[in-house]
Amino acid sequence: MTTPVVFADAGAMGVALAVEIADGIEQARHRGERYLLGCPGGRSPRTTYAALAQIVRERVQDLRHVVIVMMDDYVIDDGDGPQRIDPGMHCSVERFAHHEIVRPLNAAAPEGMGISPDNVWLPDPSSPQAYDARLLEAGGINLFILATGDSDGHVAFNPPGSSRHSRTRIIDLAESTRRDNLGTFPEFTSLDDVPRQGISVGIDTIIENTHRAVLVAPGESKRTAVRRISAVDDYDPDWPASVLVCCRHFSLYADLQSAPSPEEAASPSWASTERNEVHT
């Protein structure tokens, strides 16, 4: 069983995680090592990314050794084989990485000390297995930020039923995942707009290559996710985000909207968990 760390709101959650990441970045710099930060796109980690940029600005941090490792991206096949969607598209994870993560961090870092475009990694649909090899060769991801689908517990694009042993691969997206992504990318006007395939790290990719994992689950829509992940002590293929509990060092971050109420915490399904002190 996993006890969630409960924060007052998504902002406080983002600040706490951003401080840990910034500390890790600085420690890696002093050791002369790269710092690999595993990142999802979407809504849940936005407060972390924003807080990290603010901390980088305040600390005047050097980010030249930071590598941004993205989990997935949408894929299309126009007859020349599968490829990531145009990075100019609103739902492109490559676009998200450069515009929503790297650009604010580089604007905050001292001039000439930002993250190089070459240090933004994404899986290649033409050779998915090469991503696993690249992460292993790099020594793994220092900290992997994880997020979970609201309705089906997908993590990256791994749908319910994903094998514990799955690796980076092209996936036919579950309809539940595509419906969740209507909210992630509000410029989608209907389910028909959402691509039907993606390339994604696998469950074993995450477990094998992650030194520390933090799953961020802010907001009322994540209540089911917090409950499901709190209740397991091993990977549950029916809720892929439960991969969190298989990582070497992990935390589940919730807020007052997603965490169990005192009454829920006292129920049998929460019997082995305790309500943490609220962090502000």
Single out the residue of 22, 132, 11, 127 nearest to residue 69, CA to CA. 132
Is residue 18 domain-resident? yes
Give the percent of the chain with pLDDT over 90. 81
Is residue 36 domain-resident? yes
Name the residue range of residue 95's domain: 5-270
pLDDT in tens, 49-62: 999 999 999 999 99
**Where does 32-122 have alpha helices with state H?**
46-59, 93-96, 103-108
pLDDT in tens, 165-194: 999 999 999 888 888 888 778 888 899 999
pLDDT in tens, 209-250: 999 999 999 999 999 999 999 999 999 999 999 999 999 999
pLDDT in tens, 142-154: 999 999 988 899 9
For the chain, the domain total comes to 1
Mean pLDDT of the chain: 92
**Where does the chain have alpha helices with state H?**
10-31, 46-59, 93-96, 103-108, 129-137, 175-184, 203-209, 223-230, 262-265
Is residue 277 domain-resident? no
Is residue 66 domain-resident? yes
Give the bridge partners for 121, in sequence order: 69
Instruction: Give residue 253's pLDDT.
Output: 98
Is residue 275 domain-resident? no
pLDDT in tens, 96-121: 999 999 999 999 999 999 999 999 99
Is residue 89 domain-resident? yes
Is residue 276 domain-resident? no
Q: Which long-range contacts (CB under 8 A, 24 or more apart) does 223-227 make?
A: 223/257, 223/258, 223/259, 223/260, 224/150, 224/151, 225/148, 225/149, 225/150, 225/153, 225/258, 226/4, 226/252, 226/254, 226/258, 226/259, 226/260, 227/260, 227/264, 227/269, 227/270
Q: Please tell me the total number of residues recorded for the chain in this structure.
A: 280
pTM here is: 0.92
Instruction: Give residue 272's pLDDT.
Output: 41
Mean pLDDT throughout 200-214?
Answer: 98
Residue 9 burial class via C-beta count within 10 angstroms: exposed 0-12, middle 13-18, buried 19 and up:
middle
CATH code where residue 108 lies:
3.40.50.1360
Mean pLDDT throughout 113-141?
Answer: 97
Is residue 121 domain-resident? yes
Coil, helix or strand at residue 12: helix
Distance of alpha carbon 138 from alpha carbon 92, whole angstroms: 25
